Chain A
Amino acid sequence: MMSAITGTIAEEKLETITLTINGQEVKAKKGDTVLEAALEAGIYIPTLCYDPDLKPYGACRLCLVEIDGMRGLPTSCTTPATDGMVVHTETPWVNQRRCSTMELIFANHPGDCFTCAKNQQCELLKIAQYIGMEQEHLDRLRKSTRLLPIDRSNPAFEYDPNKCILCAKCVRACHEIAGVGAIGLAFRGYEAKVTTAGEKPLIESICKSCGECVARCPTGALTPKWEKAPTKEVKTICPYCGVGCSMYLGVRDNRIVSVCGDPEGATNKGSLCVKGRWGYDFISHPERLTTPLIRIDDTSRGAPHNGQPHEIFREATWDEALELVSNRLLEIKQTYGPNSLAALSSAKCTNEDNYVMQKFTRAVLGTNNIDHCARLCHASTVVGAIAAFGQGAMSNSYSDFEKTDLFFVIGSNTTECHPIIGSIIKRRVKFDDAKLIVADPRSIELGEFAVTKLQHKPGTDVALVNGLMHVIIRDGLEDKEFIKERTEGFEEMRQLVEKYTPEVVEEITGVPRADLEAAAHLFGEAKSACILYGMGITQHTTGTDNVKSIANLIMLTGNIGREGTGFSPLRGQNNVQGACDLGALPNVYPGYQKVDDPAVKAKFEAAWGCELSDKPGITVTEIADAIYQGSIKGLYIMGENPLMSEPNLEHARAAFEQIEFMVVQDIFLSETAWLADVVLPAAAFAEKDGTFTNTERRVQRVRQALLPPGEAKDDWQIISDLAERMGQPLGYQSADQVMEEIASLTPIYGGIRFERLDEGGLQWPCPDTSHPGTKFLHQGSFARGLGKFHAIDYIPPAESISETFPLILTTGRVLEHWHTGTMSRRSRVLSELCPDGVVEMHPGDALKLGLVEHDLVALSSERGKLETTLHITDRAMPGVVFMPFHWSEAPANLLTSGALDPQAKIPEFKVSAVNAVLAVLDRAVQDNEFLARLAENPAEALKDYGLTSEEKAALTRGDIRKIESWVGKIDDRLRTWLSLRLSQEQW
């Protein structure tokens, strides 16, 4: 299958054997089991514990067969097929024994098939019917009377042990596929059952709720809650992360009633994560936008709202809304010039939506001021990797991970942010001999699987990587031939890293030198290694430097352009790769064709029939300042939520409040949409046809499963309607027409057509319609010719701790939620699994601050303040707190710094100096100077306030009642906090 996709790697020649099954001659691959050989030949053998994705188990004993020359009844799922073997699958002996086993299952299974949630999918029932049971026989048996309690603790699914047949598919899937091991078999004999460690409810176990177990359960033991049998199933692509999992949405009455991973899915092979399996009910959420909205006259943009849209907006017809938008945009364009307009495209929208959006911006609005949230996640990757390799995308494929000997994961919490890739890594480390190095300031789940774990201080990645390279060169582990043949700039880089000795690096990063040396040797000695990274690398003022450093390390060891190796920036959003590919960037047209290249400009002018600007536009992160300065007057936002995702939110909000005209096109009234003049209702992913491009450059088909609610429309359709109204019709009738235009103008997408994508998609570059796509890049030569080493010196992050802000804040995601939460927080399961945001803090820091678990803490930075709940965990590094940014109640980006990477303009989300104070204390001290002093420095307060000796005595012995008589009643939590504080003081 792999070779069909890439055309580059020849499959190993597999030896074919011939056996006879039920008198029929059957060909099989050497190494196949008898069961596999039979199934391949279309001969059915009943089985309950066999699963092609799991190791043979041999527990249900239904697949037994007779084999000439073999004693007894071997199980076909565990017996290797051999050449010349003669197999009988349906003899009286075999059937009698199968029947007997089914009778035993019957005796131990409840008979509530009518009400069982498994209904039509029950394998047990199907096999019972196949085997043919007799009531008289069943009546002889002693029926089990045991009733075990049902575990309903998980919001997504329930576990009824009474219906479990112990095929252990769930246990094996959790262990072998998800790499979690939350459930196992416990007890013996009749008491044997599937349960969690310590028999705790599932929700209290380490279960990640991915539902891999549920999907594989052949009976009604593990069933999704509230799932219904669909009337049709539509194959499409998950809208959450950049992995791009293929799945089937079950539809009934225009609602999604079931979700099932696509077993043929090129990316996920049937697996899904917690979001991808349970997180789609947002589509039918009552808060979906169903009609265009226009801001009611006189409501000021910054006015606080109470969540009642009708107080701010009035419903409008498409006609009225588009007329208004058209007029206002044209007016601004005429008054201030085209560059006073800007558009934000969306990494959540399809390739076709993005293409149309950028075309609209360039051709109709007449500006290159288009960007999208890739700016906030991988802008530095694009800049850095283009500088090093000439190409900004992930160089390899997930199928490479199957051949990788060494994974180096840095700045990526893979198991939470790209769970399916996380599972591949875990599986390869657990079951094969692959090794893993993890570098992250936080102690992440993958760390448990790593041979070497490097916990470096936030923002010290360049020093860390330079240190690794120092050791590799010092010990002669570099790939000299690769460096000589394929790269330039090595010498300069080598000289620079000379000073990054393990001692120096330990000083900067906090990583013990022995660990650094061990990691360098592992990496340097690996036959094939790849580096996976995420926002931990990119979201820094040195983001581009970080990426270049990673490119350095990869080229130094020759780990690129070969199978199993590679450069793997893990893209965040489902279609962030596609949005970049399709030119939703201020400096390039689709396919990274530069706007300032005259030939390119001419090509697009000819194709689009209009004049285009050759002046690169401004970026997302520059828009707020541009609005402040008055250079941007009108803003068109499609499916983005900058008022949650921008750094330094207070600043951004102030800017957006000043804009002259703003349109937001979205599926919900997002934090940003509340500020818009016109809100346009868009279709969600499940309501659209089109394509997404995942992080491994795979263009995959998104198919419409539902009708959009109310008057909502496809994003590309809305833009087309608007363009037409503005006098420049784009003329598309369908998404595939858009793709045809994309292919004609975008060489890397040249061979992409909807009808070619039905079999698992195509990886670009795919220049023409006969090209099979490209599995990995840079084979033989780099996109830029020679790979370029960059000599990168370590520069500390823009912000460092101070007395006022003694902690470093780093932000990120949690497994159950997504980005600004507009989707995942409207999913019942996801929000029940993870209802509240927290700030993670190391126990040592909490102790110093007198904080305990679940305290409400006030976090503040120079830019803002918020309150959130404390979670004390040694996942956090001492001195570093972590906060996810999904919660609008406590938006982490109120605190983050707006400092930008000078080259990629990506903000430094990962390093902000903050302070954490018990929230009640923070509030109390605002209007009580004495209390403030007392909390800060009790001994000084004692001196400064001219207290009587009696009062001093009261203070030093921690007499809170006395203190209350001076400052007024104190909150209970603050009382304990203050007592502790006073008792610790050296008076």
Chain B
Amino acid sequence: MDFRQIQSNAASQWVAMQSSQKPRILMGMGTCGIAAGAEDIVEALNERLARGDIQADIIRVGCIGLCYAEPLIEVIKPGKPSIFYGNLTPELISEIVEDYLIADNPRPDLALGIRGEGALEGIPRLFDLPVLKPQVRISLRNCGNIDPENINHYIANGGYEGLAKALTMNPQEVIDEVKKSGLRGRGGAGFSTGVKWQFCHDAPGNTKYVICNADEGDPGAFMDRALLEGDPHAVLEGMLIGAYAIGAREGYIYIRAEYPLAIQRLMVAIRQMEEYRLLGDNIMGSGFSFHIKIKEGAGAFVCGEETALMASIEGSRGMPRSRPPFPAQSGLWGKPTNINNVETWGNVSAILQKGGEWYASYGTERSKGTKNFSLAGQVVRTGLIEVPMGIALREIVYDIGGGIPGNKSLKAVQTGGPSGGFIPASLIDLPVDYESLTQTGSIMGSGGMVVIDEDTCMVEMTRFFLTFTQAESCGKCIPCRWGTKQMLDILEDITNGKGRPGDIELLQELAESVKDNSLCGLGQTAPNPVLTSTRYFRDEYEAHINEKRCPALACTELISYYILPDKCQGCGICLRECLSEAISGGKRMVHIIDQSRCIKCGTCLDVCPTRFSAVVKVSGEEVIVPGEPVPVAAMKASAVASSRSSNE
């Protein structure tokens, strides 16, 4: 069966599905959906459909990006626009079946939005919602729309057309097309993909490799996982195109072992490709042959660094080595090798499907196309987003993310994972592209984006990131191994109230040195949190060091809880709940916290009835309390007296 035939079969299968008279239910079954309980929903749905003897097709799809609303389904009744329902429970799914599938009530109260032709009263169009409106979906084009385990779904949506087109071109033309798109590596450094391919293409040698870096190691980042789970073929097609362009016959996907679902979907996809002769020898009769192996990583963050990744594939300890030689000259097993990350490959297939120029029409002058982010932290709508380069940070945080929950104010946005930097709230209108981010001292990284609100201590946050990079340093070079540790030790001292004058300068000096002096990207970027936090939030450091005060009231060693004697009603709740038995007092007696016994868990503050609000958390200041419990009434009188005296 040749590819055109495969395509037409896939197309007719797809059309048949679309025009089926049975309702279809698309179930979000990425790791995010499953974690939110999607399996229970499917079980309840199946059970309810069976009970009602209702015919419906359930299609398991990947993540559509609205993680905050998982578990999520899309319900398509013939002839009607499809409706998305989120935050489902087994009870709600039964209601939806009864009300919509059986009774034709679309339940606008439960619906998130609709898509497709037509309208439904009271339900907005999904892609007009602020969360989706600014987004442009290129690499994620099929995620949530197709069954990732059905290659026909991918092909029916233009899949492998890019490869077919590439195979009609010569390798240099393919590289030129990618250059024309302006695509830059989505793994972090943002090097031009076309130029990188060109180096590897030009390197002498008959044996060359391409590698897909799926070792997504940033804590809180899940862009690549979602793409692999939702549309593995988009990535695989990209790899084939790249392999053809540089002249590789073998490729590796280096993927974290912690991504079992992505691995399984990749294996299914590879098997299906082989069945269709889209992988193996003489692909599409072009004479081009390519084979892919999956290599599971063992969870070392540094293995995302390309030379460490290759060492790991070779069976050695995953440690980076110095460049030159660059992988394009001497990479895996000493052969010219091209590594791109999952998202880059996902974009490559789109570029060949739709053309470099089309791709370059998105984004900014120097940062073309779109970028995926995993939006997390103190933001109303967390999730996986794909936005055009150059979008304002404000749009991401406030429109897509829905702003900061609990009426708190924004303090900073952290991009680029643990080795990225903090962008202060004052720069909220910053356009998100490689150059602008670098200017702030942060990086694009692979696409982590953490929103930080006013309750977060920046010193503590910096310490947290350093804890990660320090522990994940491979230990090979001194600046990274011991420089991150030294910075971490100092940050720990500061957050523990043991900071010394001069520590800020020392931190900055160390940070600059580690940045300049480390062997690989891990060490070179690990100081970014230190550099940006000392640059934008120096006052917080100074408060910690000079006043032993944590302005965000977050550093445990620097905060204290007090019971305000004039507000305490002596109800005894905090006394009973205190984990360390630090509170003394009796009925109708003002309670007192013994500071030497207090473990600063905050339970007293949490349990004190709001109507009393007698417990306060303070830092760097002392609240005057009686030496021992006194009757509540006595305090009231003295409070009146003292307020009088202060007025005078």
Contact = CB atoms under 8 A, between A and B. Distances in A.
Contacts of A571: none
Given A64-B517, A142-B490, A188-B302, A59 B483 contact: no
A167 to B, nearest CB: 9
B513 A97 contact: yes
A61 B519 contact: yes
A78 B478 contact: no
A104 B516 contact: no
Interface stretch (B85-93, B319-327, B593-601): B319-327
The winner among A100, A105, A108, A184 for most chain B CB atoms within 10 A is: A100
A504 interface: no
B486 A56 contact: no
A149 interface: no
A73 B479 CA distance: 13
A59 B473 contact: no
A872 B351 CA distance: 65
A609 to B, nearest CB: 66
A101 interface: yes
A970 interface: no
Interface in B494-535: 500, 502, 506, 509-510, 513, 516-519
A187 B300 CA distance: 10
Contacts of B213: none
Given A100-B517, A142-B493, A189-B471, A107 B478 contact: no
A192 interface: yes
B475 A189 contact: yes
B489 interface: yes
A104 B478 contact: yes
A602 interface: no
B516 A59 contact: no
A57 B489 CA distance: 28
Interface residues of A, number: 37
A168 B317 CA distance: 13
B485 interface: yes
Contacts of B319: 185
Interface string A661-696: 000000000000000000000000000000000000
A78 B321 CA distance: 9
B324 A165 contact: no
A58 interface: yes
Contact of B479 (A61, A142, A189, A193): A61
Contacts of B317: 184-185
A142 B486 contact: yes
Nearest to A185: B317
A61 B322 contact: no
B476 interface: yes
Interface string B32-44: 0000000000000
Nearest to A77: B322
A190 interface: yes
Nearest to B492: A142
Contact of A189 (B324, B485, B490): B485
Contact of B477 (A61, A80, A188): A61
B476 A166 contact: yes
A795 interface: no
A72 interface: yes
A174 to B, nearest CB: 14
A168 B474 CA distance: 13
B470 interface: yes
Contacts of A20: none
A140 interface: yes
Contact of A101 (B300, B322, B489, B513): B513
A123 B267 CA distance: 52
Contacts of A189: 470-475, 481, 484-485
Interface residues of B, number: 37
Contacts of B517: 61, 64, 73, 97, 100-101
A141 B509 CA distance: 12
Given A58-B519, A100-B517, A192-B475, A105 B490 contact: no
B485 A100 contact: no
Contacts of B476: 59, 166, 168, 185, 192
Given A58-B519, A61-B479, A100 B509 contact: yes
A613 interface: no
Interface in A128-159: 140-142
Given A61-B519, A100-B510, A142-B486, A190 B322 contact: no
B276 interface: no
Contacts of B484: 189-190
A60 B481 contact: no
Contacts of B518: 61
A593 interface: no
Interface in B436-492: 470-479, 481-486, 489-490
A79 interface: yes
A61 B513 CA distance: 11
Interface of A: 56-61, 64, 72-73, 75, 78-80, 93, 96-97, 100-101, 104-105, 107-108, 140-142, 165-166, 168, 184-185, 187-193
22 contacts: A58-B322, A59-B476, A61-B517, A61-B519, A73-B516, A78-B324, A79-B324, A80-B324, A93-B516, A100-B510, A100-B513, A105-B478, A107-B482, A141-B486, A141-B506, A166-B475, A185-B319, A188-B474, A189-B484, A190-B471, A190-B481, A192-B475
Q: Which 9 A-B pairs have the closest CB atoms?
A: A192-B475, A78-B322, A58-B322, A100-B513, A142-B489, A104-B482, A189-B473, A190-B485, A189-B471
Given A59-B478, A73-B516, A192-B476, 16 more contacts: A58-B477, A59-B476, A61-B477, A73-B517, A75-B322, A79-B324, A80-B324, A140-B502, A141-B506, A185-B317, A188-B471, A188-B474, A189-B473, A189-B484, A189-B485, A192-B481
